[in-house]
């Protein structure tokens, strides 16, 4: 059996940090397990022609969502042996789920592996925006000391209204971490929480339009599907409160690229933060790198060393089960037996 992993290059950091499980050098800890039993592992960072060559006779392909290999229906058609697509993390939108289902290729992701990491990152970015942290830090590095300029854009988070779009595992943890800040939390999701869950989190359900118009801060925690692709387009961004903030640790394509740039340049939005881009890795001239009032990071919210350990263990478990012919953990399954089985993606099936 041949397993291909597409992961970020570890470089010098990989030599001194063995906990970087998700890099090409350490390959999620799969190499000893596979090679000791006569199987082949190819670990690479190339997502282009080199990957195409390796996929031709691959049985399993593993890719992280933050260094994604976009597996289209054309690539699936050119990979006749492919039986398992694994996301080393959470979010399998870089795989064509409809094409995988049609070929009865199993798709799985390591559900829950990075939810704490992403929720913490989102809270950090909310505070970075509201407190005007990035310009303050940059001023210090540049040798300046202009308090008035910085304070003119700095606010308390307390008493603000925070809207959460997508109240799944990450959204709920994000809401829980906001409670000590004494904010009013609204949320929107396709599936409403129970009354008890809403009371525990201190969250009130609103329609997406009402949430958009009433929130001082909106944080996106929804999967990318045809229904959420560019959900925050020019029209929805215009409906946000003037001077509000948008945080997106979900997927870059949920927000319209140039509409966001224009909203920040005009001053309608006070700031944008997140760690997700489209495409990824982001080009050096991606307009989000240079737009005003942003606090962007590379897609690393879910790649803390603790998260990487959970991801590697989950991937190893899936591959071991696949080799043994035993079922993969049900919670991990996205596509199984020719159909999309995850509720997060089920309504995207067959949409092209």
Positions marked catalytic: 114, 251, 280, 299
Q: Token digits for 298?
A: 């590379």
CA distances from 265 to 49, 134, 284 (A): 38, 17, 20
Contacts of 86 (CB under 8 A, 6+ apart): 60, 61, 62, 63, 107, 108, 109, 315, 318, 319
CA dist 323 and 40 (Å) reads: 12
Q: Is 110 helix (H, G, I), strand (E, B) or coil?
A: coil
Q: Are 302 and 117 in contact (CB under 8 A)?
A: yes
What is the C-alpha to C-alpha distance for residues 11 and 25, in angstroms, rounded to an integer? 8
Instruction: Find the angle CA(6)-CA(10)-CA(13) to the nearest 5 degrees.
Output: 165
- Residue 44, φ and ψ in degrees, nearest 5: -145, 165
Using CA atoms, how far apart are residues 223 and 164, in angstroms rounded to an integer? Answer: 13
DSSP conformation class of 283? P
Going along the chain, which residue ranges are E strands? 2-6, 40-44, 60-63, 84-87, 106-109, 161-165, 184-188, 203-205, 217-220, 244-248, 269-274, 294-296, 333-336, 339-340
Instruction: For the chain, give percent helix, strand, coil, nearest 5.
Output: 40, 20, 40
How far, in Å, CA of 164 to CA of 171, rounded?
7
CA-CA distances (angstroms) from residue 290 to 28, 144, 276, 303? 34, 21, 15, 24
Pairing of strands 2-6, 40-44: parallel
């Amino acid at each position: 059996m041949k397993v291909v992993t597409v992961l970020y290059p570890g470089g010098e950091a990989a030599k001194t940090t063995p906990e970087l499980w998700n890099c090409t050098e350490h390959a999620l800890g799969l190499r000893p397990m596979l090679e000791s039993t006569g199987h082949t592992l190819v670990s690479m960072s190339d997502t282009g022609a080199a990957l195409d060559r390796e996929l031709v006779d691959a049985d399993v392909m593993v890719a992280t969502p933050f260094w994604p290999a976009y597996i289209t229906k054309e690539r699936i058609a050119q990979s006749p042996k492919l039986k398992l697509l694994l996301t080393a993390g959470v979010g399998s939108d870089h795989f064509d789920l409809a094409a995988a289902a049609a070929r009865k290729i199993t798709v799985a992701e390591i559900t829950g592996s990075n939810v704490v990491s992403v929720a913490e990152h989102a809270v950090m970015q909310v505070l970075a925006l509201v407190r005007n942290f990035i310009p303050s830090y940059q001023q210090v590095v540049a040798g300046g000391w202009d308090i008035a300029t910085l304070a003119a854009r700095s606010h308390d988070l307390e008493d603000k209204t925070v809207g959460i779009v997508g109240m799944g595992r990450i959204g709920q943890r994000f809401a829980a971490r906001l409670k000590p800040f004494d904010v009013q939390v609204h949320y929107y999701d396709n599936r409403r929480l129970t009354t008890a869950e809403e009371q525990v989190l201190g969250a009130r359900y609103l329609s997406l339009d009402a949430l958009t118009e009433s929130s001082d801060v909106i944080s996106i925690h929804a999967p990318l599907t045809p229904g959420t692709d560019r959900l925050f387009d020019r029209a929805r961004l215009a409906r946000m409160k003037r001077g509000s903030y948008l945080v997106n640790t979900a997927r870059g394509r949920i927000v319209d690229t140039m509409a966001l740039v224009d909203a920040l340049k005009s001053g309608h939005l006070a700031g944008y933060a997140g760690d997700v881009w489209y495409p990824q890795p982001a080009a050096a001239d991606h307009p989000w790198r240079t737009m005003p009032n942003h606090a962007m990071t590379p897609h690393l919210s879910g790649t803390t060393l603790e998260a990487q350990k959970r991801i590697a263990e989950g991937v190893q478990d899936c591959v071991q089960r696949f080799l043994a012919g035993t079922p993969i953990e049900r919670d991990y399954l996205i596509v199984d037996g020719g159909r999309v089985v995850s509720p997060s993606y089920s309504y995207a099936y067959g949409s092209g």
